[in-house]
Amino acid sequence: MNDSSRAFLDDLLATPSPSGFETASQRVWADYVAEFADEVFTDAYGNAVAVHEGASDAPTIAVTGHGDEIGFIVRDVLEEGFLRIAPIGGSDRTVSKGQHVTVHADDPVQGVVGQTAIHLRDPSDDEYEEITGQFVDIGATDADEALDHVEIGDPVTFSTGLESLVGDRIAARGIDNRTGSWAAAEGLRRAASADVDATVYAVSTVQEELGLRGARMVGFDLEPVDAFVAVDVTHATDNPDVDTEHQGPVELGAGPVVTRGSANHPVLVDLARDAATDAGIDVQIQAAGSRTGTDADAFYTARGGVPSLNVSIPNRYMHTPVEVVDTTDLDDVADLLAAIADASGTIDSFSVDIRTDLP
């Protein structure tokens, strides 16, 4: 990963983007892709799209990642000045207490999620409260003072920053999925640098954590696109407390994960695996029997059905403030997207031919 690409990754991870409040992060993404894209545009809700214009007779492919992260929202201010919160997306109630958080008001306000000291509670009665039963302490002495600094509806994120671990691994909040939107931008940059024949759209979607909302908008509006490749994180299963009985093996540092089944179009699966082989990129294979849980699930049913593929980045500790990935996987995913874009220029049709074996 070159210095510019790493600086872009660091900027994305440092910029809060809770679902519904992605503007600042989407601006970072759009500013970066504007350096090499032929066109950059956004829609009414902030989905951001960058374009490499290819040959007129070549396919059009979109590589995407969602730019939003989980978080919280201020839903009430108590008389004592504490803030009641609600989840944004799939926030994990087991990791929120005792954490530093930032309330993204007009001027950011620092706070903590309250946790009664172990000395003052009976550990045998411990249970994880729902997030709606937890509270943020910003230091205010009453509601009036709190409301001088925040208001109902302000988003809240963990204050965890990016940390470099041993080797090529990093930890941060919001790796799910600004690493995917990073990969989409970088895949476009590398495809544009190679001047691939295909027209390539890179997309950073919004509100994935609320139910693939941005992808539904993009899948409807972005025409003509012959195929979508959605990049998201997937669960790495190489840490000690993961039960692999119901989860296939995925390792950090072992390369991008190509998913088979469900939304994943067989022609695109084969194209991705062949492109990886030709480019010397190791990939891991994952099964999706019913759904991928990613934007691919929205894209593939858009406009009567658009061939789609889910490519994933191995990620430990998803939906916590300390998600961990290997940056070599990020680079490989970006290279794979560029390789898929290049190889797609040779595809006449992404459709499944059910008549091949018929007389």
- In angstroms, how far is CA 267 from the centroid of its own chain? 24
- Residues 6 or more apart from 117 whose CB is under 8 A from it? none
Please give the Cα distance from 318 to 52 (Å, whole number). Answer: 32
Asked if the peptide bond before residue 314 counts as cis, ω within 30 degrees of 0, the response is: no
The CA–CA distances, whole Å, from 168 to 96, 161, 254, 311 equal 27, 17, 12, 20
The CA–CA distances, whole Å, from 49 to 18, 21, 29, 34 equal 19, 17, 10, 10
According to the annotation, is 66 in a ligand binding site? yes
Question: Are 98 and 121 spatial neighbours (Cβ–Cβ below 8 Å)?
Answer: no
**Residues annotated catalytic, as ranges:** 208
According to the annotation, is 319 in a ligand binding site? yes
According to the annotation, is 186 in a ligand binding site? no
According to the annotation, is 142 in a ligand binding site? no
According to the annotation, is 223 in a ligand binding site? no
Annotated binding-site ranges for Zn(2+): 66, 176, 209, 232, 319
Annotated binding-site ranges: 66, 176, 209, 232, 319
